């Protein structure tokens, strides 16, 4: 079902009505969506007009199109995409509880985890049975958190960098943990995942009986197409699968925030990185906490790209 942004594109193509009429229709749509001034500002901002909707069909039909199963809840979580300075975004990030980061840091100091890592990395001599046990232990401890939260661990600087982008669309949101923190910072985030909030169907999260951290709309790589007015955010896209490439190919905007490893790592595929190198240039990189595994550290980071 089309969402408010898609309806806005219809309106823009048909021509813009006078501002009072646009605001009047936005108010009507806001009542249907149930989100007051936020929905009004979001719909007016995207160019939703009475003239455009009438040319695309009846006003009643247009109103029905404006009602989306998931997006109204998501729009209600932000402030209409008001741009933040990095300092203001950092202050907001500091005020938001981040249990994943806290549990990650605590685990790094856990003696049993450290010993399991040291044995698995070969820093402590061990028998084959001790090695096998240590390998399983460190993996299970790590997976306990990655299943519950996400693979990438957000820190204040990473969250602030994304929030400073303003309006964001996240593809492959997983459990919704990153989106939940951004929304707690009053960032306007639309989050998609092909499984929506059904984590039992999500390979990366089904092992842990947890619920999604926030509202997530169902959507594949094409779901980002109508949201070129937002910065694209993608964290830890599946390794050696076409998802990351398909998302970036479908995205029509100019700013992309990527969290993951580089070429040859455990995120994305060759087509994705080739497209990234050809059409995008790096603007900024932010270090985030990295997981240590039996074969070394992950080398994931947050990188902001702009279209060439």
Q: Is residue 195 part of a domain?
A: yes
SS3 breakdown of the chain: % helix, strand, coil, rounded to 5?
50, 15, 40
- Is the same domain home to 175 and 236? yes
Q: Is residue 303 part of a domain?
A: yes
Cα–Cα distance measured from residue 198 to residue 178, given in angstroms and rounded to the nearest whole number:
17
- Is the same domain home to 16 and 153? no
- Is the same domain home to 28 and 159? no
Q: What phi and psi, each to the nearest 5 degrees, are found at residue 32?
A: -65, -40
Q: Is residue 196 part of a domain?
A: yes
Domain boundaries, position 203: 86-98+149-307
Q: Is residue 118 part of a domain?
A: no
Q: What angle do CA 275, 165, 252 make, to 5 degrees?
A: 40
Q: Is residue 107 part of a domain?
A: no
Q: Is residue 111 part of a domain?
A: no
- Is the same domain home to 64 and 153? no
Q: Is residue 17 part of a domain?
A: yes
- Is the same domain home to 90 and 51? no
- Is the same domain home to 39 and 159? no
- Is the same domain home to 27 and 156? no
Strand-strand pairing, 231-235 and 168-171: parallel
Could you please report the per-residue DSSP string of 104-162?
A: HHHHHT-HHHHHHHHHHTTSS---HHHHHHHHHHHHHHHHHHHHHS-SS---HHHHHHH
Q: Is 2 helix (H, G, I), strand (E, B) or coil?
A: coil
Q: Is 4 exposed, middle or buried (CB count within 10 Å of its CB: 0-12, 13-18, 19+)?
A: buried
- Is the same domain home to 54 and 153? no
Instruction: Say which residue the tokens 């900024």 belong to.
Output: 284
Cα–Cα distance measured from residue 47 to residue 67, given in angstroms and rounded to the nearest whole number:
17
- Is the same domain home to 160 and 199? yes
User: If you ran DSSP here, which 8-state letter would residue 62 be given?
Assistant: H
Q: What is the CATH number of the domain that holds 229?
A: 3.40.50.150
Q: Is residue 203 part of a domain?
A: yes
Kindly state the tokens that stand for 233. 């955010």
User: Residue 166 in contact with residue 231, Cβ under 8 Å?
Assistant: yes
- Is the same domain home to 198 and 259? yes
Domain count, the chain: 2
Mark residue 65 as left, alpha or beta (left: phi above 0; alpha: psi -120 to 50; beta: remaining): alpha
Q: What phi and psi, each to the nearest 5 degrees, are found at residue 259?
A: -120, 120
Cα–Cα distance measured from residue 80 to residue 189, given in angstroms and rounded to the nearest whole number:
9
Tens-binned pLDDT, residue by residue, of the chain (308 aa): 444 444 444 333 333 333 433 444 344 444 434 433 333 333 333 333 333 333 334 333 433 333 334 454 454 445 556 678 999 999 999 999 999 999 999 999 999 999 999 998 989 998 999 999 999 999 999 999 999 999 999 999 999 999 999 999 999 999 999 999 999 999 999 999 998 877 665 556 555 556 899 999 999 999 999 999 999 999 999 999 999 999 999 999 999 999 999 999 999 999 999 999 999 999 999 999 999 976 788 999 999 999 99
- Is the same domain home to 64 and 173? no
Of 258, 264, 241, which is closest to residue 302 (Cα–Cα)?
258
pLDDT number for residue 211: 83
- Is the same domain home to 217 and 276? yes
């Amino acid at each position: 079902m089309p969402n408010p942004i898609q309806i806005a594109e219809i309106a823009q193509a048909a021509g813009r009505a006078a501002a009072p009429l646009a605001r009047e229709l936005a108010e009507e749509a806001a009542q249907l969506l149930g989100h007051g001034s936020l929905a009004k500002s979001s719909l007016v901002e995207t160019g939703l007009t009475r003239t455009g909707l009438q040319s695309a069909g009846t006003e009643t039909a247009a109103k029905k199109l404006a009602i989306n199963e998931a997006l109204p809840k998501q729009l209600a979580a932000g402030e209409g995409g008001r741009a933040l300075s990095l300092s203001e975004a950092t202050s907001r990030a500091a005020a938001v509880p981040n249990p994943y980061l806290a549990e990650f840091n605590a685990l790094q100091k856990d003696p049993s985890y450290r010993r399991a890592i040291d044995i698995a990395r070969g820093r402590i001599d061990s028998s084959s049975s001790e090695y096998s046990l240590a390998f399983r232990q460190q993996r299970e401890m790590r997976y306990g958190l990655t299943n519950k939260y996400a693979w990438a661990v957000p820190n204040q600087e990473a969250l602030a960098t994304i929030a400073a982008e303003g309006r964001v669309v996240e593809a492959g949101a997983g459990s919704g943990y990153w989106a939940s923190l951004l929304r707690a910072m009053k960032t306007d985030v639309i989050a998609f995942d092909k499984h929506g909030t059904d984590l039992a169907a999500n390979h990366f999260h089904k092992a842990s009986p947890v619920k999604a951290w926030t509202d997530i709309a169902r959507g594949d790589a094409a779901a980002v197409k109508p949201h070129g007015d937002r910065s694209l955010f993608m964290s830890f896209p599946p390794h050696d699968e076409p998802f990351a490439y398909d998302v970036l190919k479908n995205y029509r905007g100019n700013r992309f925030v990527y969290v993951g490893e580089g070429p040859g790592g455990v995120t994305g595929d060759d087509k994705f990185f080739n497209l990234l190198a050809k059409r995008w240039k790096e603007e900024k990189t932010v270090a985030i906490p990295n997981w240590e595994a039996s074969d070394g550290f992950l080398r994931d980071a947050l990188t902001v790209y702009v279209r060439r």
